[in-house]
Amino acid sequence: MPYQVNTVQLLRLRKELKHRVDAIDADIHHKKEPVEKDFAEQVTQRENDEVLFAIDEEAQQTIHLIDSALSRIKDGVYGTCASCGEKIPDARLAALPYVTTCIGCAE
């Protein structure tokens, strides 16, 4: 049976990532607690902020990919490789429902 895209699954993942982005934003901008007064603690906070920035960027990229997948579903072209036009294998879509290319084109 061919893979059936689950729009609810994509929307749930998008909501979870958006929540994560909002929480990271609050942490990075110290909305819940002020910046430490101790310099050594500030260094630790800055290091943590760098990690949070990386996680935030990845989450935002995934949200963008999910939005694109939802648009492709709406347009009726979901599951078609954006590079070669061939069908993306069901196993790949099941693992990463927001991918835009088949395995061959992704390499």
List, for residues 42-60, the tens digit of each pLDDT value. Answer: 666 677 788 888 999 999 9
* Residue linked to tokens 């909501």: 15
The verdict on pTM exceeding 0.95 is no
Tell me the C-alpha distance between 56 and 25, whole Å.
8
What's the longest Cα–Cα distance across the chain?
60
Q: What is the token pair recorded at 76?
A: 């009726």
Distances, alpha carbon 106 to alpha carbons 70, 77, 85, in Å: 20, 18, 13
Bridge partners of 87, per DSSP, are 80
Bridge partners of 80, per DSSP, are 87
| Whether pLDDT at 3 is above 60 | no
